[in-house]
Amino acid sequence: MFEVAFSSLWSRRGSVLLTLASLTISMAIVIGVEHVRAQAESSFVRTVSGVDLLVGARTSQINLLLYSVFRIGNATNNISWQSYEDISARPEVSWSIPFSLGDSHRGFRVLGTNSQYFEHFHYGDSEALRFAEGEAFSDVLHAVLGSEVANALGYELGQEIVLSHGIGNTSFVNHENLPFIVSGILAPTGTPVDRTIHVSLQGIEAIHLGWQNGVQVAALSPEREDPRLSELQPTQITALLLGLDTPMAVFGLQRAINNYPREPLTAILPAVALGELWQIIGTLESLLSVISILVLTASLLGLSTMLLSSLRERRRELALYRAIGARPFFILWIIELEALSLTVMAAVMGYLVVTAGFAVTQSWLSENFALVIDVWPSTAGIWLYMGGAIAASVLLTLIPAGIAYSRSLGHALQSS
């Protein structure tokens, strides 16, 4: 049976290989799109968890989410230190994590925060951050690296690194004389945390010492022993993450912050904002899915067409099977089997093409797009698409196979 199907395909390898190539490409497109979609969604939803409210200067909730959680773009305004202390002191608030953003180091964002961050900032299914090496910062000039930062830059525990003011990939105003020491390296999370350098809020101030309006006014930059380091006092932060004692209090506090009298602020529920943002991205993604399914359908129709047009040249071959005792069902099955083996081969090769493609581009994607992609696609959606494609090919092949079947029902004993 398989011998017949494979030899038959091989004897028509010209059109068969073209069809196989077209099927493989469209399978790869479907699998690739679905894989990226699933990965993007899961890493997206995993970005932040356990945070009840996210507070920033007055802006849209998506904008706030983008610059504070995803560290894409910049805040237009900051939150004053006064407001931060005010809100943190409210009775509903169990813990608060300040975020101070705006600086970078060799393309990675520097985040100023406090030690609460390592305790309360969760991701995925409420997973806490873990240290692969070292510990949280305990000094103004300590830094904690995300796993990818350490990997990409080859930094190790105890190494001295220079953090610069501003957000440039290669800022020429590096403070060669203000090195931070790597005090800890975090385990990978698959979130923007991996691409972040964490320092204390005072550390952020230290970076800015001697600077005014983006210009280095004093040639003196603090030495490690500079007494001013201990007196550094932040005056503003970029965003604020809040955890509450009772989830019920979330809406009351949100309203209170949105109506905060001293400065215009926005408080959002991260889960709701993530969902809303995903809806926007998700529309684009389902459009891509639809297109990829159409591409696959076109090549499945091509397969069916190829088999249908092969019937003419196979007329005598199919009649001969019947003459030597084949049931009509054999004729149907032999054509289905050809379609089935081509689709299965295409599914396997398409899968391998996608895997190879991501294996090659994985580090490039994560460095340039913060997209962390597993090399082996394995979500249910992918198996569903592969199974669906195979089922669809069986159904579409019923057209040529059915025609061959009904033609084979009654013919004279003649093969020429």
Partner 1 sequence: MSTISIENLRYTWPGSDDPVLDIAEFRVAQAETVFLRGASGSGKSTLLGLLAGTLTAQSGSLQILGTELATLSPRKRDRFRADHIGIVFQQFNLIPFLTVAGNLRLVARFSGRPRRDITEKSEHLLESLNLDPALLHRRADRLSVGQQQRVAIARALINEPELLLADEPTSALDTDARDSFMSLLLSIRDISNCTMLFASHDRSLAKYFDTEVELANLNKAQARQVSHV
The site for partner 1 (CB under 8 A) is made up of: 1, 3-4, 7-8, 10-11, 316-317, 320-328, 330, 410-416
Contact 222, 178 (CB under 8 A): yes
**Residue 167 CB partners (closer than 8 Å, separation 6+):** 74, 102, 103, 104, 109
* Residue 397 or 408 with smaller CB distance to Mg ion: 408
* Residue 206 or 318 with smaller CB distance to ligand ATP: 318
Q: Residues 373 to 412: which contact ligand ATP by CB under 6 A?
A: 411-412
* Residue 138 or 415 with smaller CB distance to partner 1: 415
Q: How far apart are CA 394 and CA 407, in angstroms?
A: 19
Contact 205, 211 (CB under 8 A): no
* Residue 11 or 94 with smaller CB distance to partner 1: 11
Q: How far apart are CA 203 and CA 3, in angstroms?
A: 72
414 is a site residue for ligand ATP (CB under 6 A): yes
Tell me how far, at minimum, the Cβ of 14 lies from partner 1, in Å. Answer: 13
Tell me how far, at minimum, the Cβ of 125 lies from partner 1, in Å. Answer: 55
* Residue 127 or 317 with smaller CB distance to partner 1: 317
Q: How far apart are CA 154 and CA 148, in angstroms?
A: 9
* Residue 271 or 311 with smaller CB distance to ligand ATP: 311
Question: How many residues bind to ligand ATP according to rule CB under 6 A?
Answer: 3
Tell me how far, at minimum, the Cβ of 149 lies from partner 1, in Å. Answer: 60
316 is a site residue for ligand ATP (CB under 6 A): no
219 is a site residue for ligand ATP (CB under 6 A): no
**Residue 324 CB partners (closer than 8 Å, separation 6+):** none
* Residue 230 or 414 with smaller CB distance to Mg ion: 414
Q: Residues 377 to 416: which contact Mg ion by CB under 5 A?
A: 414
Task: Return the amino acid letter for 172.
Answer: F
8 binds, among ligand ATP, partner 1, Mg ion, none (CB under 5 to 8 A by kind): partner 1
Q: How far apart are CA 181 and CA 174, in angstroms?
A: 16
**Residue 257 CB partners (closer than 8 Å, separation 6+):** 53, 55, 87, 265, 266, 267
- The alpha-carbon radius of gyration of the chain (Å, integer) is 31
Tell me how far, at minimum, the Cβ of 339 lies from Mg ion, in Å. Answer: 33
Tokens encoding 287: 């459009």
* Three-class secondary structure assignment of 182-227: EEEEECCCCCHHHHEEEEEHHHHHHHHCCEECCEECCCCCCCCCCH
Tell me how far, at minimum, the Cβ of 395 lies from Mg ion, in Å. Answer: 37
Closest residue by beta carbon to ligand ATP: 412
CA angle 61, 125, 108 (to 5 degrees): 60
* Residue 169 or 414 with smaller CB distance to Mg ion: 414
Tell me how far, at minimum, the Cβ of 304 lies from ligand ATP, in Å. Answer: 25
Contact 53, 268 (CB under 8 A): yes
91 binds, among Mg ion, partner 1, ligand ATP, none (CB under 5 to 8 A by kind): none
* Residue 227 or 410 with smaller CB distance to ligand ATP: 410
Buried b / exposed e along 366-391 (16+ C-beta atoms within 10 A): beeebebbbeebebebbeebbeebbe
Beta strands in 214-326 (DSSP E): 215-216, 236-237, 239-244, 265-268
* CB atoms inside a 10 Å sphere around CB 247: 9
* Residue 4 or 271 with smaller CB distance to partner 1: 4
* Three-class secondary structure assignment of 149-184: HHHHHCCCCCCEEECECCCCCCCCCCCCCCEEEEEE
21 binds, among partner 1, Mg ion, ligand ATP, none (CB under 5 to 8 A by kind): none
Pattern 199-238, Mg ion, x by CB under 5 A = ----------------------------------------
Tell me how far, at minimum, the Cβ of 313 lies from partner 1, in Å. Answer: 11
196 φ/ψ angles, rounded to the nearest 5 degrees: -120, 145
Interface contacts to ligand ATP, rule CB under 6 A? 411-412, 414
